Amino acid sequence: MYAFKLLAALSSVALFASAAPAKGPVKDCECDVSKAKLDIPSNQTVLVAPTTAPHYVAVGIGYQNYTCSAATSTYACVLFFRPPAPSLPSSTSRALLASQPSPPSKTRPTPSGRTPPPPSPTRRRSPLIGAAAGAGQLLGYHYFVTSPSGSGISPEWDFTSTGKNAGNAEAFVVGAKTGDLKAPTDPTVNVDWLMLSNAEGQLASQIFRVDTVNGQPPASCDPTTDTATLKVKYTAKYYLY
């Protein structure tokens, strides 16, 4: 669904003990977000703000990726795979990504009782938190993966190869949507606000996507002519609890 970079961040306020490289508690970064407040509309009950401070706050800039569904003639979100040769979506992201090495692939233990999903092509990973000048530190990467159930796709926030969590195989979270609110302003233009719970990983127990700008595809498409992946620019703010 996404292949995007996030260009500003405030990091975790919680302090954790040192962890072994392969597994352990998620560590904090440098900035204090203990006063950060998740501001959501009061006239709804779909999204419920936690009473505790977030671990991370991230502002993202990037793309929503869609393909035209032949069955419905509407756009559907898709995984965005890395092509065989490196390529970048724009000159802006090229400047940002040039200084960022691709994170190493990782192998995680499969929880008992769950059959691991079949292998998939290498994923395109774009910086979750920007490394451009003045944009804050790189916290990790954000992309879509096969859902823990083995069917469908789920969003993942991956800090396993960057910052203080580099080498910690548990510093990720796969989210499962628990709340979906139309954007309070221009919902046909701005993508929905979301609340997600932890489906796998130790990075966060809840994730919120709010303050979205743009990202919605056209209402319909023609599968006979609209065959290319549609990339729609958007921005959003992410709170990880």
**Domain annotation covers residue 156:** yes
**Domain annotation covers residue 103:** no
**Domain annotation covers residue 115:** no
**Domain annotation covers residue 105:** no
**Domain annotation covers residue 112:** no
Looking at residue 176, its pLDDT comes to 96
This prediction's pTM = 0.72
Lowest mean pLDDT, pick from 33-37, 85-89, 133-137, 214-218? 85-89
Helix (H) or strand (E) holding 67: strand 56-68
What Å distances lie between residue 193 and 33, 90, 211, 227, CA to CA?
Answer: 21, 26, 7, 28
> pLDDT, tens digit, for every residue of 63-97?
888 999 999 999 988 765 433 323 323 322 222 22
**Domain annotation covers residue 38:** yes
**Domain annotation covers residue 110:** no
**Total structural domains within the chain:** 1
Domain residues for the domain of 14 are: 5-96+120-240
Looking at residue 29, its pLDDT comes to 63
Residue of 204, 211, 151 lying closest to 175 (CA atoms): 204
Looking at residue 81, its pLDDT comes to 41
Q: Contacts for 217-224 with beta carbons within 8 Å, 24 or more apart?
A: 217/64, 217/66, 217/75, 218/75, 219/74, 219/188, 220/73, 220/74, 221/68, 221/69, 221/73, 221/74, 221/75, 222/68, 222/73, 223/68, 223/69, 223/70, 223/73
Looking at residue 6, its pLDDT comes to 41
**Domain annotation covers residue 201:** yes
Looking at residue 158, its pLDDT comes to 87
